[in-house]
Amino acid sequence: MQRAILIPFLLVAFAVSLNAQPLQFTVEQGVLERPGLKAILVSNQYGVLRYFTFAGKLEDGQPHRFSVMRRRGEQLALTLVEEEERDGFYSFRNSTYTNLSDSCRIEALQTQTGPRRNFRTVNINVTDVEGINSVRLRGPLGRRTEFRITGDGLRIKGSVLERTGIYALMQFPDEDHFRYYMQPMDEENEFEIQTDALGDSVAFTPLLLPYSADWSGSVQGYQGGTPYYLHYRRQGMGDTDSLEVEVPVGERFDSVLISLSALQEEGTAYFKTLDQLPARLDTFLFESDFDSLTNKSFTFSAVEEEGDYYAVSYYYSLGQGRPIPSWHVWGAMQGRQNVDFILPDLPQELYEIMPELEEVVAPIAVDKTSFRCTRRCTEYDFGRHPALLEDNEGRFYHGFISRRHLQELED
């Protein structure tokens, strides 16, 4: 009798094992320590909730490790629900990572909110100078550069972004070219140099762009670990299909880092580290439209030429004095013909502590971003380290190019 009961039980257990397998997830301590983190949940591609916990109930001082059984055909996604506050106004920023693998880790990103920009005063005295036409300090500046001729020569005073190199261009009377001075910062930032020790000339080298747009960003040359701004444009200054890069003739750079974007138009951003300055930048195929799009689901084609990874972001208001409420979905496109996803259903308990989540039923805009990797691509495993796609340093390391398009949703 016991044998007759045992055999069906083993058959059922064997069938379950074939149709489900546990996936282990780890949310690192740095993520758990974010003051706005409220909940962690796991869902499948149809929005069905498979796991939920409040962040405040987790044990302090260590990562949160847990397992979820994945049924056959399921793709599991992990969502972080975070509350944002500004001047007493509350909002939310949810992040969902899709198509995850076993041993997935959600790491804390140092660049999540962007580094604080600090500037340092720099004083340069160029001796044996009797006149000057123009002086330029390159890169982000804390204030307007000052220069004047004194009895001791040319005095230059500026405010340069911390941890960058000093790159100054000077044009003297009766010379149709610029000379330059390059120097890493030191503790005092007081420099004295003779005119004949300046770099002899600067080449204004064109960098061709894939199309005419309102470009902004920077080109930096790295020398001994120090970045020097060879081009910098904080805000676009009108449509252009090329940029001038101010290359110091005779200098060798270990690498060139390009960070340029024209998101207002067709939507392209470059995060590339190259061995040398290219003659032009190329883009890749990008289809901005969705096959279907609702307030909590989307579908689009994932052709090989379009990109390797994607981000789809829902926006729910214009902010109106508070952080803009948003929900961001990150995923991989390799080996897929179509991408489709449904945002997870949020537990009622979350609405009770974050009433602002009621807005998720009525987004006002959605943007779609495609990412293409150009360097060290086999080193990146999105399924195990999905949050690294958000990291600017990681994008530079892998030479990501991105295309983005924002569209409003009809009422």
Beta strand 179-183 pairing with 226-233: unpaired
Q: How many H helices and E strands in the chain?
A: 4, 27
Regarding whether 266 and 127 lie in a shared domain, the answer is: no
Across 106-115, 140-149, 203-212, 221-230, least confident range: 106-115
- What would you report as the CA-atom Rg of the chain, rounded to the nearest whole angstrom? 27
Tokens of 137: 């300090």
User: Quick check: is 275 in a domain?
Assistant: yes
d(CA 112, CA 294): 28
pTM for the whole structure: 0.76
* Span 60-87, average pLDDT: 92
* Span 61-74, average pLDDT: 92
Tokens of 195: 């005119």
Regarding whether 411 and 306 lie in a shared domain, the answer is: yes
Per-residue model confidence (pLDDT) at position 226? 96
Q: Which of 197, 232, 260 is the last residue of a domain?
A: 197
User: Quick check: is 10 in a domain?
Assistant: no
Regarding whether 123 and 100 lie in a shared domain, the answer is: no
* Span 313-335, average pLDDT: 88
User: Quick check: is 235 in a domain?
Assistant: yes
Residue 82 clears pLDDT 90, i.e. is over it: yes
The distance from CA 2 to its chain's CA centroid, rounded to whole angstroms, is: 61
SS3 content of the chain, % helix, strand, coil (to 5): 15, 45, 40
Supply the mean pLDDT for the chain: 88
* Span 46-62, average pLDDT: 91
CA distances from 238 to 100, 229, 231, 233, 235 (A): 42, 21, 16, 11, 9
CA distances from 61 to 56, 57, 306, 308 (A): 12, 12, 42, 35
Per-residue pLDDT of 186-203, as tens digits, reads 999 999 999 999 999 999
Per-residue model confidence (pLDDT) at position 275? 86
Regarding whether 298 and 155 lie in a shared domain, the answer is: no
Residue 8 clears pLDDT 60, i.e. is over it: no
* Span 38-46, average pLDDT: 96
* Span 63-83, average pLDDT: 94
Regarding whether 124 and 262 lie in a shared domain, the answer is: no
User: Quick check: is 13 in a domain?
Assistant: no
Cα dihedral 12, 73, 381, 38 sign: negative
| Confidence label for 54 from pLDDT (cuts 50, 70 and 90) | very high
Q: Which of 163, 181, 197 is the last residue of a domain?
A: 197
Residue given tokens 């399924």 in the structure block: 383
Regarding whether 124 and 101 lie in a shared domain, the answer is: no
Q: In what order do the strands lie in the sheet with 166-171?
A: 134-137, 166-171, 179-183
* Span 11-21, average pLDDT: 51
Tokens of 374: 């150009």
Residue given tokens 């309102």 in the structure block: 214
Q: Which amino acid, residue 348?
A: Q
Across 46-50, 143-147, 370-374, least confident range: 370-374
Regarding whether 293 and 217 lie in a shared domain, the answer is: yes
d(CA 123, CA 140): 16
Regarding whether 318 and 332 lie in a shared domain, the answer is: yes
Q: List the one residue out of 314, 313, 308, 310 whose CA is nearest residue 300.
A: 310
The CATH number of the domain where 138 resides is what? 2.60.40
Per-residue pLDDT of 250-295, as tens digits, reads 899 999 988 888 766 455 677 777 888 999 988 888 888 899 999 9
Q: Which of 197, 223, 240 is the last residue of a domain?
A: 197
Overall number of domains in the chain: 2
- Neighbouring residues of 13: CB distance < 8 A, sequence distance ≥ 6: none
User: Quick check: is 9 in a domain?
Assistant: no
d(CA 100, CA 75): 7
Per-residue model confidence (pLDDT) at position 102? 95
- Please tell me which residue, 213 or 206, carries the higher pLDDT value: 206
What's phi and psi for 35, nearest 5 deg?
-65, -25
- Please tell me which residue, 8 or 58, carries the higher pLDDT value: 58
CB atoms within 10 A of CB 276: 9
**127 has which bridge partners?**
194
Domain of residue 132, residue span: 119-197
Tokens of 235: 């805000």
